[in-house]
Amino acid sequence: MMNGQDDDSELLSVSEFSQEDELSSSHGDRDSSFEHEENNKKKKKKSKEHEIGSKETKSVFRAKLMVYLVLIVSCVTASTLAYFFTRDQEEDDYRNDFKVYADEVKRVAKDVIQTKIDVGESLSIQITSYANDNGFLFPFVTLPDFERVSANLRHMANTDFISFISLVPREKKAEFENYTLYNNEWVQEGLEVQGLGDVDPGPIPSFIVDLVQMFGVARPDPNALENLYFAPTWQTGPAPFNASTLLSDVFVNPQLLPSIERILSEGTVQITPIFKIVIPNTAAGVELERPFEVPHSAMTNGIYDTLEGNGDLVGFVYTSVPWNDFFNGILSEGTGDIEVVVSENCGEAGDSKMTFVLDGEESYLKAFEDAHDPKFDSRRESTVLTNEEFEAGEDGRCRYELEIYPTNKLKNTYDSNEPLIYSIVVAMIFVFTTMVFLVYDWAVQRRQWMIIRAARKTQAIVSSLFPKNVQDRILKDVDDEVQREANKPLVTRGNRTKDQLQNFLKGKDGVAAAEEEAQMPTPGARSSKPIADLFPEATIIFADIVGFTAWSSTREPTQVFQLLETIYHVFDEIANRRRVFKVETVGDCYVAVAGLPEPRKDHAIVMARFARDCLVQFTATVKAMVVELGPDTEELGVRIGLHSGPVTAGVLRGERARFQLFGDTVNTTARMESTGVPNKIHLSQETADLLVAAGKSQWLRTRREKVVAKGKGELQTYWLDSTGETATATTEGESDEEEKGAKPGIQTAPVVAPAPAVPSADKYNRLVAWNCDILAKLLTQIVARRESRRTDPDPVADIRKLEEQYGSNRYVLSEVQEIVRLPKFEADSQRVDPWSVQLSEEVLSQLKDYVQTLAAMYRDNPFHNFEHASHVTMSVMKLLSRIVAPDVTNAPTDTDEALHDHTYGITSDPMTQFAVALSALIHDVDHPGVPNSQLIKEETSLAAVYRNKSIAEQNSVDLAWDLLMDDAYGDLRNTIYVTKTEFLRFRQLVVNIVLATDIMDKDLGALRKGRWNKAFSEQSTGNTEDDVNRKATIVMEHLIQASDVAHTMQHWHIYRKWNQRLFREMYEAFLQGRAEKDPSDNWYEGEKGFFDFYIIPLAKKLKDCGVFGVSSDEYLQYAVQNRKEWELKGAELVAEMLKSFRDQGLIPGGKAQEQPEQAPPPRQSSALSLNNKKEQQIV
């Protein structure tokens, strides 16, 4: 339409120009010039309109053409690659599967041959043993019940015939013939065992059939075996239907004679060449065709007159090898055909070959020759079955070889249409992609056409309204506006730095901006200034967990992070509620600030309340987590420091953008925290001044001693009253105003001697709850495993009878086993998730009651008490949780089995883990506070009962076991074990593990040392079941030993705590006259020797057994570090402990202090009743 209008205008101009030419020639020149100018304008306009997007259109067209070409080439290439890749994959599958089948055939064939050899050897040993045990002389020996014995052996060896052939010297021929006439009952008995008792086998021959003499096959050598002996077939399995076949001299068989001679000369098992047994047609009286020819070989094992190594050959066992059934069942159902060529090379005896076809589980003889397809020669797999150490046919020995080939049928199962299908699918994907691209291109073209149309309209409007210079100015202004919008800053008003900082802290685009800035190569290349600012008024808090390092040394990593996550989550919630900004956490230190990024004048008050809330919640949280994280968790404290002042805050840009605080205020806050005390809030003078100015002076108490801070000298500091109430207590004779450094309205903190730590009933109950939780979790795993394996329980009466047999009247030490047998691995033992198992209320109630009673049975010893037992249990659980197998993640399908094998079955059996945990809990029940040697010297009744061996340990087992056997805990016992096997394993585990804690008994120590050497020596292969169970037993015993002294292999503070308790226990015994020597005389040197000769070697054994992962390294490192620390500080610590005892009045002449009354443990009456029962049993 636009082109048409242009043409009409041209015609009109020409017409007008002609008319004007006729009127005036002067006007003609002017008009002609004007028309030419207008024409040029219109042509330029038209040309400009067509030029809009013309270059881009050509570029797009070329790009589209290139894309189409790439798609076509990619389609062809991808389809071809898919075809050949899939075909190669099928070929690889075919080769790999055939290799697997061939390896399976070779392995099973060798196993079958070895089984037949073992069967013959077994029968030979039985015959010799029977003769020797009953004083019979060969050849006058008949093995009783031969039919059943041979039937079992035939079933094991998959053979159809086995016989006992005697060597009868020629001078004893008549005597042997007479013997067989009166000892042939075994024939009829054998037929009856077969269910053919009504068959009459007839009489056996009255003489040995001398086939050598009959057929004249004797050799000229008078000393030849067949000229000196007869070899009559005496007993056969199955028993013959016709007894006349017996007493046939087998020396006539030239295939057996060389084998017998080699047995006589070498004493080795021999195999004969292949011979064919032809099944006759009794009706026709002629032999059948080849399909009924059955190839056989025979294994011959020598029988000797004694089981000693130098016996004389008196007979041999003949075992048939029916090749027709030899390969049955080797492959699984559905496996493709493979061919096996059996080659026999017996030297002069001749060579022969047979070809068998294995079709799944079935096999059949294809030909009495090598009939495999030659095109599969390249896939040949071979192995030697017999006489591998000899050359083929050497010295007449028969060497059997297998050659395994694939077949067309097997190959065809891997040839499919999948390569073609995959290539077509790939091509269709590309076709579909091309179609989608075409649709997309059409949509883009349509959109582009609309844009161009709009641009032309706009150009037309602008051109019609404005002159050229105005058009250019308008377009330039638009371009500038677009450019300004593209480069517009994120913030255009206000304090840009603080806004950016607040955006960063609030999680907005500041993080992204900072990380983008971090990508700049150099600081000078950054496009913006750093995001930072000075906040003149802010209060910072540092909160550090006291005792965390020592506590974490006794826990597994997951428990460490569980504690930190829980505490920090609680602090975060308080911070959100108090509008305090959390800066970061560094290890176990929590850093927060009030007064930024949004300034507030009450920042000191807010932070004081925040600190007080954190302290209260921390105390409550650690007490509540004792049940999950174990003892000593409630002893953790938090040290809090506060300081107020100006702070520089900003985003530290880099690879990981972080919000940071800088300045002297931060350093001073850190000093406030580090110089504080646990569970108190330490404030600087500046923060205290702000609180006083805000009318909160009642919150403060002046710290008596001044704090020395690096670079600041002495500082007067304050305590924040954590209760929020006014402190009124002061030291006698002093007032608040008289206290140096105190301010009016601020209370002075009194100096109070810390009370000695004593177990409280609350702590006691938390320990009981934690132990119950540990044991309950293990019980759920026992139940889950039992349900997974579908274990059928034994009758309750049988188990109760067994429980009565293992009462306290048994001598526990006699039950220590060298090997405790653990269950074998079963893949389906993890089918039931332990988390889905719910223990009944009765079981949980009985478990809690049982643990409470056990706790009450512990005496109030400084060291050997219930808290120590809980500490040992915690170490046991840590080591059990760290049992790992290396490199199992590379084989996820075999992870459970690999872990089972690597840890000797410990990780696979929850019963074992439960027994270990329970043993740790009971191992010191009723411990008297003195060693066994002292009990022996005192000639106590317990020492007499336990025969002066492992007295305390046996007593602990008896007391805990008798308690568990009480009728009140029937449901609990029914959860622990439901079969007699489980009961016995549980009892053996408890006895072995508890008795292992007696490290002073020389006999037990020697037994454990011998087991360790036998289990982990370089000569030990560790392949047998006994080897694995021996290793498991010794690992569990060393686990409990390490846990019993775990404090020596944990953090220095833990070691000091328990070392002081043990020293106190032994010192109290000395003061009571129950020890001959003062322990302080040799405590320093004794501890060094204990480290050198027991602790460090024990830690190395944990590492050497290889099942405890990095925990063994951790224990060894702590043991070495503690040994070094003790060498430096031990003598001083012993002196400090003696001084402490003197101050407490334990040593005569010392200053006694009034001790707080301890909370009595619950259920003491139950413990006393059990002890009284034990004393009655002793009497």
Please say if the pLDDT value at position 1170 is more than 90: no
Q: Per-residue pLDDT for 128 more than 80?
A: yes
For residue 642, pLDDT over 90 is answered with yes
Q: Given this model, what pLDDT does residue 614 score? A: 92
Tokens of 819: 């090997």
pLDDT at 901: 64
List Cα–Cα distances, 710 to 420, 668, 706, in angstroms: 81, 9, 13
Q: Which of 231-240, 687-696, 886-895 has the lowest mean pLDDT?
A: 886-895
CA separation (Å) from 257 to 116, 170, 224, 654, 1063?
Answer: 20, 17, 10, 91, 82
Range with the largest mean pLDDT of 217-226, 261-270, 538-547, 1015-1024: 538-547
> CA-CA distance, 327 to 799, in Å (whole number)?
47
**Range in 256-270, 790-804, 831-845 with the lowest mean pLDDT:** 256-270
pLDDT band at 307 (very low <50, low <70, confident <90, very high): confident
Q: How many CA atoms lie within 13 A of 284 on its CB side?
A: 7
User: What percent of the chain has a predicted confidence (pLDDT) above 70?
Assistant: 74
pLDDT at 47 (0 to 100): 56
The predicted structure's pLDDT at residue 74: 87
CA distance 1135 to 1147: 13
Q: How far is CA 1055 from CA 670, 996, 1126, in A?
A: 28, 22, 10
What is the band of 638 on the pLDDT scale with cuts at 50, 70, 90? very high
Q: Which of 40-49, 272-281, 1156-1165 has the lowest mean pLDDT?
A: 1156-1165
CB contact at 8 A, 497 and 532 = yes
**CA–CA separation, 322 vs 743, rounded Å?**
109
Average pLDDT over residues 293-304: 84
Pairing of the two strands 747-748 and 700-702: parallel
Cβ contact 1028:905 at 8 Å: yes
Q: How confident is the model at residue 889 (pLDDT cuts 50, 70, 90)?
A: very low
pLDDT tens digits for range 414-443 = 888 888 888 898 889 888 888 888 888 888
Looking at residues 451-456, what average pLDDT do you find? 80
pLDDT for the residue 258: 72
Paired tokens of 717: 């500091």
Which has the higher per-residue pLDDT, 938 or 1176? 938
Please, which residues bridge with residue 317 across strands? 164, 301
Q: What is the pLDDT of residue 1167?
A: 44
The 3 state secondary structure assigned to 62-126 is HHHHHHHHHHHHHHHHHHHHHHHHHHHHHHHHHHHHHHHHHHHHHHHHHHHHHHHHHHHHHHHHH
Residues comprising the chain, all counted: 1179
1132-1144: per-residue pLDDT in tens? 998 888 888 887 7
Confidence band (pLDDT; 50, 70, 90) for 1151?
very low
Strands 658-662 and 637-652: antiparallel
pLDDT at residue 522 is higher than 60: no
Q: Which residues pair with 321 in a beta bridge?
A: 297
241: nearest Cα among 322, 187, 294, 184: 187
Task: Decide if pLDDT at 980 tops 70.
Answer: yes
What is d(CA 826, CA 828) in angstroms, rounded to the nearest whole number?
A: 6
**What pLDDT shows up at residue 681?**
92
Say how far apart CA 1124 and CA 915 lie, in whole Å: 35
Lowest mean pLDDT among 18-27, 45-54, 255-264, 853-862: 18-27
792 Cβ partners below 8 Å, 6+ apart? 979
Asked if pLDDT for residue 641 goes beyond 90, the answer is yes
- Of 55-64, 135-144, 438-447, 868-877, where does mean pLDDT reach its minimum? 55-64
**Where would I find the H helices in 466-556?**
468-486, 496-505, 509-518, 548-552
Confidence label for 1159 from pLDDT (cuts 50, 70 and 90): very low
Tokens of 273: 């060449």
| Residues 57-66, mean pLDDT to the nearest whole number | 80
From the list 592, 713, 690, the residue with the least C-alpha distance to 641 is: 592
Distance in angstroms (rounded) separating the CA atoms of residues 972 and 338: 58
Is the Cβ–Cβ distance between 274 and 294 less than 8 Å?
A: no
Rounded to the nearest 5°, which phi and psi values hold at 1056? -60, -40
* Average pLDDT for the chain: 77
Instruction: Name beta bridge partners: 303.
Output: 315
